[in-house]
Amino acid sequence: MDFRDTPEDAAFRQEVRGFLRAELPADLRAADDAVLGVGVGEDEREVDWLRKLAKRGWVAPAWPKEYGGAGMSTMQQFIFNEEIARARAPRPNFLAIGLAGPTIIVHGTDEQKKEHLSGILSGEHFWCQGFSEPESGSDLASLKTRAVQDGDDFIINGQKIWTSGAHRSSRMMLLARTDFDVPKHKGISYFLLDMKSPGVSVRPLMNMAGTHSFNEVFFDNVRVPKKDLLGELNKGWYVATTTLDFERSGIINAVSLQQLIQELLDFADRDGIRPATPVRHEIAERWIETEVAIALSYRVVSMQVKGLIPNQEASITKLFGSELAQRIARTAVHLAGPRAVLSEGSKHAPMGGRPESWYRIAVGATLAGGTSEIQRGVIAQRGLGLPRG
């Protein structure tokens, strides 16, 4: 693994940095606690930033140019994402650009590409992901939402949960069971659901930090036309695998974690705090661990550049990063001391209440995007060749 950029990659990195210095507003750089990172249209600034990216042709780095994307190489995508993270720039419409769009490009018909891709690029349409259910999270293939064919439509009944951005989305990537007499992986289909369809209802879920990002979504005899079936009937599991493959890069998360450590250092310096020796050692360990997280991300991209598929390597990166996020949150509390329990709004809250917020948000880090148990299973079976337990 070579950490040095080629001359071409170094020039591209400088181009991205120059663009960010010139075009990224200061208030967006500072908005690292906002919903801007999720990119579900909560703030009009997201759309303004998306328009700037569009003018530069960088809205969708991974998409082929023929579909309006930037057509970047694997390494260019990695460099772009790393610099975006280091500049604390938002990722507007991330679920649509990073997940829905690439999956439609791979599996969609010409009509589906024409109908959906332009709205994603423009920021007109935001998307959510209807995968998890109350009893089908880690074991996603056990999902129970039903889709029964009725003439030229499918009728959907069931429920999804932990659906990020559903309250702002116009479309959903929906998995539903269409064959009930075959093994669970083989009877699932993938739909591009219009969230305005009659029978769709969205109920907000507040997370532990008191913010609204998640939702429950209910389907009561919702009609979905056949044209919105993505890929083949009953082959939705394999389409969904394509979607999930786009969630495992890791560099944005790794850089963001290192920035949290830097914030702790700045806080201690600004407030004249001299941490006890154990806490100083903790902070040093966390910084070293963020360097490890970045190195793991470089390992993944190095494999991709060589045409290899980072399977267990991607799971290692995700597992290490999500558990590191929780360790960083604990270190922030140790540094802030008893005042760490004070939340935003209290004049005595350290760092504006961020340690308290981080601590609560970090609880979900080892659940979202595949639990730690799932990641360890992948590492054990595919990386170490161990049998299923």
Distance between CA 343 and CA 138 in Å, rounded? Answer: 32
What residues make up the domain containing 194? 127-234
Q: Is residue 282 part of a domain?
A: yes
Q: Are residues 201 and 262 in the same domain?
A: no
Number of folded domains in the chain?
A: 3
Q: Report the candidate in 63, 71, 74, 103 with the shortest Cα–Cα distance to residue 303.
A: 74
Q: Same domain, yes or no, for 76 and 159?
A: no
Are 133 and 210 members of one domain? yes
Of 383, 86, 132, nearest to 251 by C-alpha is 86
| pLDDT at residue number 15 | 97
Domain termination site, one of 234, 262, 295:
234
CATH number at residue 23: 1.10.540.10
What digits encode the pLDDT tens for the residues 222-256?
A: 999 999 999 999 999 999 887 655 545 689 999 99
Q: Are residues 228 and 267 in the same domain?
A: no
What is the spatial distance between Cα 171 and Cα 100, in angstroms, rounded to a whole number?
10
Residues 365 and 277 in one domain: yes
Residue type, 105: I
- Does 270 map to a domain? yes
Q: Is 98 within a domain?
A: no
User: Is residue 273 domain-shared with residue 354, that is, in the same domain?
Assistant: yes
CA–CA separation, 68 and 64 (whole Å): 7
Residue range 70-122, pLDDT digits in tens: 999 989 999 999 999 999 998 878 889 988 999 999 999 999 999 999 999 98
pLDDT at 120: 92
Q: Is 355 contained in some domain?
A: yes
Same domain, 261 and 360: yes
The verdict on residue 229 lying in a domain is yes
In a domain, 122, yes or no: no
Token pair, residue 234, equals: 């009953």
- Give the contacts of 161 (CB within 8 A, at least 6 positions apart): 132, 133, 134, 205, 214, 216, 217
Q: Are residues 259 and 377 in the same domain?
A: yes
Query: Is 293 in the same domain as 327?
Result: yes
pLDDT of residue 140: 83
Query: Is residue 91 within 8 Å of 61, Cβ to Cβ?
Result: no
Lookup: tokens for 211: 């913010």
* 229 and 331 within one domain: no
Distance CA 116, CA 119 (A): 6
What is the domain-level CATH number for residue 345? 1.20.140.10
328 within some domain: yes
Mode of pairing for the β-strands spanning 171-177 and 127-130: parallel
Q: What is the pLDDT of residue 274?
A: 82
Catalytic residues: 247
Q: Which residues are CB-contacts of 211 (< 8 A; sequence separation ≥ 6)?
A: 35
274 Cα distance to chain centroid = 36
Q: How far is CA 336 from CA 172, 275, 287, 349, 354, in A?
A: 41, 9, 17, 9, 10
Residue 307 buriedness (CB in 10 A; 0-12 / 13-18 / 19+): exposed
Shared domain for 200 and 78, answered yes or no, is no
Low-confidence ranges of the chain (pLDDT < 70): 30-43, 209, 243-249, 389
Do 136 and 210 sit in the same domain of this protein?
A: yes
Domain boundary among 184, 210, 234: 234
Do the domain assignments include residue 372? yes
Which among 234, 258, 287 is the end of a domain? 234
User: What CATH number corresponds to the domain at position 193?
Assistant: 2.40.110.10
Alpha helices in the chain (DSSP H): 7-23, 26-29, 44-56, 74-86, 94, 101-107, 110-122, 236-245, 251-270, 277-305, 312-336, 354-361, 372-378
